[in-house]
Amino acid sequence: MDTKVDEGSHLRFHFCRRFRIDRTRADSWVAQPFSVLAMTTRGRLELLIAGLRECLVKPAPGQVYFLPAGVRRQPHLVGSEAAEVLALGIALEFLGGLDLLPRMGIPFLPEPSARLKTQLLSMEEMEQQAGDRSLRWTVTRQALGYALVSDLLACAAPGANAPSLVPEEQRCAPAIRFMDDHCAEPLSLTRLSELCHLSRTHFFRLFKKQAGCTPFGYLRQLRLREACRMLAGTNLTVAEIGCRVGWPDPYHFSRTFKAATGMAPSHYRSYYCGNGRSRSAVTSRRTTTGERGAAKDSVGG
């Protein structure tokens, strides 16, 4: 059993680009199934954060701010000028797909902001060279990403929900890895608990302690992250993507996606792909399966 983060961690990038936020895009609730590091490069924005950490975040122009995965926020323009935002979508995945960043108590306005700003701009420069994608480019990009994450973690102490690395408290790891590899399939609590040699009740309790959410919530986040990746990086239709992530009913997929992100899948694609920029056809690493015949104790919804 792995007990060190570096033995089972992986840094995943979802996007790094600039977005324009005008009156048509401001004042709407949005969220993403991965964390976002951003800064306003033109104009001014304030962000109303919903949920347990409800507050109003007021980053200065050029100040870096951090938005944990799943946190709903409502951007407000300050003044009449539209704002431009440079944003990096990022996840530090452990034990397959368990994202550590939202669990580490990173503040919305991390310091030192100047260093993080330099790193964020360097990441943008790397993305502008993405046509090369040589081994050197890949290694340099990963190194920049890990340096940025290291500085983020240095400014925050782990929260109470940070995952434990003690072996006896990682007994749900087989289920987490299995869900990451089979997130498009109908899964049951019985199957997952058997993988961990635990009763369903004991498994459910330990899983929530380690992952910070129920098995259903974790599977939903996996599917949403994969859907976001495929919407931004493939030419598959919305219906095809829904099938590939485990939601074969297009209406159910669109409704679930919009409830989680604040955007319909088609709107998410047009916004995060950047004004019709061509998308390379990327083969999903997920198995294409449906949810037909799910068991009573299914965690796939």
Residue 289: predicted pLDDT: 38
Structure tokens at 214: 């129920």
pTM value is: 0.82
Residue 140: predicted pLDDT: 92
Query: Quick check: 299 pLDDT over 80?
Result: no
119, HSE (Cβ side, Cα atoms, 13 Å): 24
d(CA 38, CA 36): 6
Residue 171: predicted pLDDT: 83
d(CA 221, CA 218): 5
Residue 277: predicted pLDDT: 39
Tell me the longest C-alpha to C-alpha distance in the chain: 59
For the segment 74-106, what is each residue's pLDDT rounded down to a tens digit?
Answer: 999 999 899 999 999 999 988 767 888 888 889
For the segment 15-68, what is each residue's pLDDT rounded down to a tens digit?
Answer: 999 999 998 888 889 999 999 999 999 999 999 999 877 899 999 999 999 999
d(CA 226, CA 111): 31
* 8 Å CB contact between 93 and 103: no
Tokens 């498009």 belong to: 184
Query: CATH: 3.40.50.1700, 3.40.190.10, 3.30.70.260, 2.60.120.10. Which one for 11-154?
Result: 2.60.120.10
Residue 2 burial (C-beta neighbours within 10 Å; 0-12, 13-18, 19+): middle
Q: Which of 263, 188, 248 is nearest to 219 (CA)?
A: 188
Query: Quick check: 214 pLDDT over 90?
Result: yes
The domain locations on the chain are: 11-154, 167-273
For the segment 250-279, what is each residue's pLDDT rounded down to a tens digit?
Answer: 999 999 999 999 999 999 998 887 543 334
Residue 278: predicted pLDDT: 37
What is the overall mean pLDDT for the chain? 84
Q: Which of 25, 135, 9 is nearest to 87 (CA)?
A: 25
CATH class of 167-273: mainly alpha
Residue 274: predicted pLDDT: 54
Most confident residue range from 110-114, 152-156, 222-226, 290-294: 222-226
